[in-house]
A = this chain, B = another copy of it.
C-alpha cells in the first residue's frame, strides 16, 4: 500500500537540547506521524541538529507553526514523498507472561507480528520483569 506524506526538515544550531526535546513532544502531541533529530556538523565548528517531521498534508500548516514558535528555526525544507506501508491488522500474542496486544503486518508474501510497546511495558511493570524477556517470550 502506498500513500503520500510531507517531510519537513530544518537545521538548528541556536537552540538548546532542552528546548528541542520539548518541541519534539509538542510535535508528536499535535499529530505528527513521526519527528526526530539527527546530529549534524555545521560551519564554524558548530554541533547542531536537523529536525525532521513527517506528517499528513492536512497537519502540515500546524506543525510548521509549532516549529517556528518553539525553536529558533526561521526556515525549513519541505518535500512530498511516497510512503510504502505494510497492511496492519490488530491481534493478541500469548506470551508466557500473559497476553500482549500486537499487530500483524503483511506485504505481499511477507508477514510479521509486532508487540505493542505500550502494552509490553505495562506487563513488564506489572510483573517486574525485563521488557526484553517479553519480546522473546
Contacts and interface: CB of A to CB of B under 8 A. Distances in A.
Interface of A: 2, 5, 7-8, 11-22, 24-25, 28, 34-50, 52, 54, 64-65, 68-72, 74-79, 81-86, 88, 103, 105, 107-108, 110, 112, 114, 117, 121, 124, 130-133, 135-136
Given A34-B42, A132-B15, A110 B68 contact: yes
Given A16-B15, A82-B78, A131-B70, A41 B37 contact: yes
Contact of A17 (B13, B35, B105, B110): B13
Contact of A75 (B19, B84, B133): B84
13 contacts: A2-B78, A14-B18, A14-B117, A15-B132, A16-B135, A17-B46, A28-B43, A36-B43, A41-B41, A41-B49, A76-B84, A79-B81, A135-B136
